[in-house]
Amino acid sequence: MAEAGVVVGEAKTPSDFLKSIRGKPVIVKLNSGVDYRGILACLDGYMNIAMEQTEEYVNGQLKNKYGDAFIRGNNVLYISTVRQQ
Amino acid sequence: MLFYSYFKTLVGKEVTVELKNDLAITGILHSVDQYLNIKLTNTHVQNETKYPHMMSVRNCFIRGSVVRYVLLPAGSVDVELLHDATRREARAAP
Amino acid sequence: MGEEEATVKEPLDLIKLSLDERIYVKCRGERELRGRLHAYDQHLNMILGEVEETVTTVEIDDETYEEIIKTQKRSIPFLFVRGDSVILISPPLRS
């Protein structure tokens, strides 16, 4: 169960997980169902997220690309690591 | 506090407040509080035929949380002042 | 505090670097804004200038049941946007 890039056994709490995935490729799912795939630059306690090379997927279809993107934390359903970009 | 202070400078000016239910109310900004609740006077709504119940409304209190946009009078936006205030606020906040 | 600007240590730094730049804002209710960022706070309340708003609506054709996607645009000189409507903000590409 080696989630790509995350050293299993080190990440214990949710906040350890969040700290461990900076700079990693992630999928962020919003409450609306929209997915964002990109490199996680950083995040804060509100789950506000800064991402790079972000691709927006609506119903699984690529709809947009952003060089940098800020996502307001209240919209975030989950953040997931991903094997490859 | 930045936007509270800014809106206080707009008191007496005409603004259009667009609500999250799409109702747009134009009026004179009477007052604002820290939650960005807004009181308007001399109000009229855009598209009055769609909202006939608003026809006789001349004053209103708008809860801040239902606001989507406020359309600002162009003449009362000093962008340099806003930039400076924003940088100051960004430094002060967490 | 000397070194400001420069790096993105927290997400809001991305917004700080976009002050006085044109940004793209994706809002709730299928609304998109493009405009110059003049002010913001930690809630993402913002004042934008030279704004173009695009509202996308989907209608279903009565007969064919096909989705008809319509976009309406309008220009607004100066606009205050309440932060709780904001979903995503993208600064211009930094080169």
Q: pLDDT (tens digit, 9 = 90+) per residue, B74-94? A: 998 999 999 999 999 988 865
Per-residue pLDDT of B44-70, as tens digits, reads: 998 888 888 888 889 999 999 999 999
Q: Across the interface, which of C1, C45, C49 has its CB nearest the CB of B3?
A: C45
Q: Kindly report the pTM of this predicted structure.
A: 0.89
More confident residue, A8 or C29: C29
The interface predicted TM-score of the complex, written ipTM, equals 0.93
What pLDDT score does B78 carry?
95
Per-residue pLDDT of C16-72, as tens digits, reads: 999 999 999 999 999 999 999 999 999 999 999 999 999 999 999 888 999 999 999
Q: Where are the domains of chain B?
A: 2-92
What pLDDT score does B53 carry?
86
What subunits make at least 3 CB pairs under 8 angstroms with C? A, B
Contact C11 A42 (CB under 8 A): yes
What pLDDT score does C4 carry?
43
Rounded to the nearest angstrom, the minimum Cα separation between C83 and chain A is: 9
Tell me whether residue C94 is in a domain.
no
Residues of C in contact with A59 (CB under 8 A): none
- Give me the CATH topology for the region B2-92: SH3 type barrels. (2.30.30)
Evaluate whether C8 touches C45 at the Cβ level (below 8 Å).
no
Q: What is the DSSP string of A4-60?
A: TT--TTT--SHHHHHHHTTTSEEEEEETTS-EEEEEEEEE-TT--EEEEEEEEEETT
Range of the domain at C51: 11-89
Residues of B in contact with C29 (CB under 8 A): 20, 68
Tell me whether residue C5 is in a domain.
no
At residue A79, does pLDDT exceed 80? yes
Tell me whether residue C19 is in a domain.
yes
Q: What CATH number does residue C57 fall under?
A: 2.30.30.100
What pLDDT score does C8 carry?
72
Decide if C69 touches A, using CB distance below 8 A.
no
Q: Residue C94 — very low, low, confident or very high, per pLDDT cuts 50/70/90?
A: low
Structurally, chain C folds into a number of domains equal to 1
CA angle centred on C67, ends A71 and C87, rounded to 5°: 10
C-alpha to C-alpha distance for A54 and B53, rounded to whole angstroms: 45
3-state secondary structure of B66: helix
Instruction: Average the pLDDT over A66-81 and give the result.
Output: 97
Tell me whether residue C3 is in a domain.
no
3-state helix, strand, coil in chain C (%, to 5): 10, 55, 35
Contact A68 C94 (CB under 8 A): yes
